[in-house]
């Protein structure tokens, strides 16, 4: 066995030593004991691997994920688990987690059920997820959203398919695509969501903005001829009103 | 499987599954979806598995398959032959670097490793699976796992170096003139 072969095999040796009894590593480990070059390399390699593994162990799942998993399966059990898209189940679970996790505060208007669902989805996503996305169309959309005094985009300004296909962050809500970008304006961060009008909510979202406030954040929901929109922020309803 | 047993299964595996999913999907939202979807599939199909001891491998395999199924296959169809050779030799400063930077940045660096190497590399660092189990989960030969681990580690070291020099400022849209699409 050459030094390079030994290094190659030892690259698969887990830093916690779980593979010490594996015959595959026997010769390479022996070489690491005998050859000073391999020994030094292996010590450094394990130290590096241990450090990386330790850092990865520090990455915590988002709060509520465990509850969402359990709630999602319970929901699907009750619904028979068939004919439901996963996104809907996840949405219900996330909504359930929100209900459990946050105190609701009085909403400034009594929203319709479709608006509530989309607003809840947006707020949940905003507070529980780390966002990301790519693509020039999405960047252009963000630039427009960030423009001072700019209004929210309308249907003519949104090429839904192009945004989605070029890497704009795409979520699943009740089996339908929802695009999301985040932007900041005047020091507040906002999350803008758009889904097709013929999507999960049908025509249940009214044209004018409906505001929903939760302890975790607020969302405005409105629609036009082609799309349903949601705008969510942790800066409160008044911050939303200023943009609409 | 009763509720208590299912909850125990979730408790045992959801955190490492999430870490694996996060390295693959590269965002928390999709990672959470993948983990939930994996347990949902378990609840509807996997609980018929006769040997509960194989649940861990089943869950990781299922999550990986769901990831492959969900992503646009044409986005990263790079074959290993097309990839540049790994050439970052391990140095003492590499170890120090990992100790200096925080866990989120290590994950960020891992997420920049090519997907071909990222999946086995993450499973390796989670330390839950042997190289044979990784080979089974990813459906590749054992030698391929070793090769990908070796090259993946080299890519990761380069990525850690880049991430550290860039500090904590990670912009999702490097070409967007300051704009960020989330």
pLDDT tens-digit map of B3-12? 777 888 889 9
Tokens of A70: 């359990």
Residue of B nearest to A58 (CA): B103
Distance, in angstroms, between A192 CA and closest chain B CA? 9
Res. B80 pLDDT band, cuts 50 70 90: very low
Distance, in angstroms, between B39 CA and closest chain A CA? 7
Domain B90-166, what fold?
Answer: Arc Repressor Mutant, subunit A (1.10.10)
A142–B37: do the CB atoms touch at under 8 Å?
A: no
Distance, in angstroms, between A110 CA and closest chain B CA? 29
Q: Which residues contact A4 (CB under 8 A, 6 or more apart)?
A: none
Closest-CA residue to B41 (of B72, B17, B20, B75): B17
Q: What is the pLDDT along chain A (244 residues), one digit of tens a residue?
A: 889 889 989 999 998 888 888 888 999 999 999 999 999 999 999 999 999 999 999 999 988 888 888 877 665 554 443 333 344 444 444 444 443 433 233 333 334 456 777 888 888 777 765 566 667 788 888 888 887 777 788 888 899 988 888 888 887 776 678 888 888 888 888 899 999 887 655 666 667 788 888 777 889 999 888 888 999 998 888 889 888 8
Say what the pLDDT of residue A105 is: 32
A146–B179: do the CB atoms touch at under 8 Å?
A: yes
- Whether residue A206 contacts residue A220, with contact meaning beta carbons closer than 8 Å, is answered with no
Per-residue model confidence as pLDDT tens digits over B104-161: 889 989 999 988 899 999 999 998 788 889 998 888 888 888 888 988 999 999 999 8
- Whether residue A156 contacts residue A195, with contact meaning beta carbons closer than 8 Å, is answered with no
User: Residue B163 pLDDT > 90, yes or no?
Assistant: no
Distance, in angstroms, between B172 CA and closest chain A CA? 6
Res. B78 pLDDT band, cuts 50 70 90: very low
Say what the pLDDT of residue A192 is: 92
Residue of A nearest to B96 (CA): A48
Number of H helices and E strands in chain A, helices first, is 9, 6
Say what the pLDDT of residue B153 is: 92
Distance, in angstroms, between A206 CA and closest chain B CA? 26
Instruction: Please state the three-class secondary structure of A181-200 as a single string.
Output: EEEEECCEEEEEEEEECCCC
For chain B positions 53-112, those within 8 Å of chain A (CB to CB) are: 90-92, 94-95, 98-99, 101-104, 106-107, 110
B36–A93: do the CB atoms touch at under 8 Å?
A: yes
Q: Which of B22, B147, B181 faces A138 most closely, judged by CB atoms? A: B181
Average pLDDT on B73-100 reads 62
Q: Strand A217-223 to strand A169-173: parallel, antiparallel, or no bridges (unpaired)?
A: unpaired
B127–A53: do the CB atoms touch at under 8 Å?
A: yes
- Which residues of B are less than 8 Å from A134 in CB distance? 172-173, 181
Q: Domain residue spans in chain B? A: 3-70, 90-166
Closest-CA residue to A209 (of A125, A131, A152): A152
- Whether residue B125 contacts residue A52, with contact meaning beta carbons closer than 8 Å, is answered with yes
Tokens of B53: 């001891």
Rounded Cα–Cα distance for residues B62 and B42 (Å): 9
- Whether residue A239 contacts residue A198, with contact meaning beta carbons closer than 8 Å, is answered with no
Query: Does the beta carbon of B163 lie under 8 angstroms from any beta carbon of chain A?
Result: no
Write the DSSP symbol of residue A156. Answer: G
User: Chain B interface, mutation test: which of A28, A55, A124, most B Cβ atoms within 10 Å?
Assistant: A55
- Which residues of A are less than 8 Å from B127 in CB distance? 14-16, 18, 53
For chain B, give the DSSP string.
Answer: --HHHHHHHHHHHHHHHHHHHHHHHSSHHHHHHHHHHHHHHHHHTGGG-S-GGGHHHHHHHHHHHHHHHHS-TTTT---GGGSPPP-----HHHHHHHHHS-HHHHHHHHHHS-HHHHHHHHHHHHTSS-HHHHHHHHT--HHHHHHHHHHHHHHHHHHHHHHHHHTT---S-TTSTT----
Say what the pLDDT of residue A203 is: 62
Distance, in angstroms, between B67 CA and closest chain A CA? 14
Burial class (CB within 10 angstroms; exposed 0-12, middle 13-18, buried 19+) of B161 = middle
A to B CB pairs, distance under 8 Å: 191
Query: Does the beta carbon of B47 lie under 8 angstroms from any beta carbon of chain A?
Result: no
Q: Bridge partners of A180?
A: A169, A193
CATH code reported for the domain at B3-70: 1.10.1740
A12–B14: do the CB atoms touch at under 8 Å?
A: no
Q: Bridge partners of A230?
A: A193, A221
- Which residues of B are less than 8 Å from A171 in CB distance? 29
Residue of B nearest to A84 (CA): B40
Residue A148 or B55, more confident? B55
Largest CA distance in chain A: 76
Q: How many residues appear in chain A?
A: 244
Distance, in angstroms, between A111 CA and closest chain B CA? 26
Rounded Cα–Cα distance for residues B182 and B171 (Å): 10
- Whether residue A202 contacts residue A215, with contact meaning beta carbons closer than 8 Å, is answered with no
Say what the pLDDT of residue A205 is: 62
Distances (CA, A) of A37 to A41, A48, A58, B93, B150: 6, 17, 32, 18, 18
Say what the pLDDT of residue B18 is: 94
The pTM score is 0.55
Closest-CA residue to B35 (of B3, B2, B9): B9
Write the DSSP symbol of residue A150. Answer: P
Q: What is the ipTM of this complex?
A: 0.79
B27–A89: do the CB atoms touch at under 8 Å?
A: no
Query: Does the beta carbon of B122 lie under 8 angstroms from any beta carbon of chain A?
Result: yes
Res. B52 pLDDT band, cuts 50 70 90: low
Sort residue A109 into left (φ over 0), alpha (ψ -120 to 50) or beta: beta
A132–B44: do the CB atoms touch at under 8 Å?
A: no
Residue with tokens 């590269």: B26
């Amino acid at each position: 066995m050459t030094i390079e072969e030994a290094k190659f095999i030892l690259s698969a040796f887990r830093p916690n030593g779980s593979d010490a009894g594996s015959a595959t590593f026997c010769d390479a480990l022996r070489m690491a004991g005998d050859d000073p070059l391999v020994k030094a390399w292996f010590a450094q390699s394990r130290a590096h691997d241990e450090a990386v593994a330790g850092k990865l162990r520090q990455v915590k799942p988002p709060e509520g994920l465990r509850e969402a998993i359990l709630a999602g399966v319970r929901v699907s059990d009750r619904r028979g688990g068939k004919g439901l898209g996963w996104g809907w189940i996840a949405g219900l679970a996330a909504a359930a987690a929100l209900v459990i996790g946050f105190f609701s505060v009085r909403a400034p208007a009594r929203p319709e059920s479709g608006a509530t669902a989309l607003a809840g989805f947006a707020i949940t996503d905003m507070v529980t997820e780390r966002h990301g996305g790519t693509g020039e169309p999405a960047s252009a959309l963000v630039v427009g959203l960030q423009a001072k005094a700019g209004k929210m985009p309308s249907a003519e300004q949104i090429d839904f398919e192009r945004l989605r296909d070029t890497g704009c962050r795409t979520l699943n809500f009740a089996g339908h695509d929802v695009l999301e970008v985040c932007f900041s304006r005047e020091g507040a961060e906002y999350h803008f969501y758009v889904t097709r009008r013929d999507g999960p909510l049908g025509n249940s979202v009214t044209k004018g903005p409906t505001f929903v406030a939760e302890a975790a954040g607020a969302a405005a929901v409105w629609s036009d001829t082609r799309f349903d929109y949601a705008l969510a922020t942790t800066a409160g309803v008044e911050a939303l009103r200023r943009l609409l | 499987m009763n509720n208590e047993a299912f909850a125990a299964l979730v408790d045992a595996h959801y955190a490492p599954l999430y870490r694996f999913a996060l390295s693959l999907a590269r965002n928390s939202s999709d990672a959470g979806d993948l983990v939930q979807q994996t347990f949902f599939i378990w609840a509807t199909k996997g609980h018929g598995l006769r040997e509960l001891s194989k649940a861990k491998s089943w869950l990781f395999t299922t999550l990986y398959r769901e990831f492959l199924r969900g992503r646009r296959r044409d986005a990263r169809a790079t074959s290993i032959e097309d990839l540049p050779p790994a050439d970052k030799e391990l140095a003492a400063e590499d170890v120090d670097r990992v100790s200096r930077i925080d866990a989120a940045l290590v994950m960020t660096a891992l997420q920049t490793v090519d997907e071909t190497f990222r999946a086995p590399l993450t499973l390796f660092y989670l330390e839950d699976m042997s190289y044979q189990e990784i080979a089974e989960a990813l459906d590749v030969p054992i030698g391929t796992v070793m090769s990908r681990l070796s090259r993946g580690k080299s890519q990761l070291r380069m990525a850690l170096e880049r991430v550290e020099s860039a500090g904590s400022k990670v912009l999702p849209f490097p070409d967007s003139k300051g704009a960020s699409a989330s």
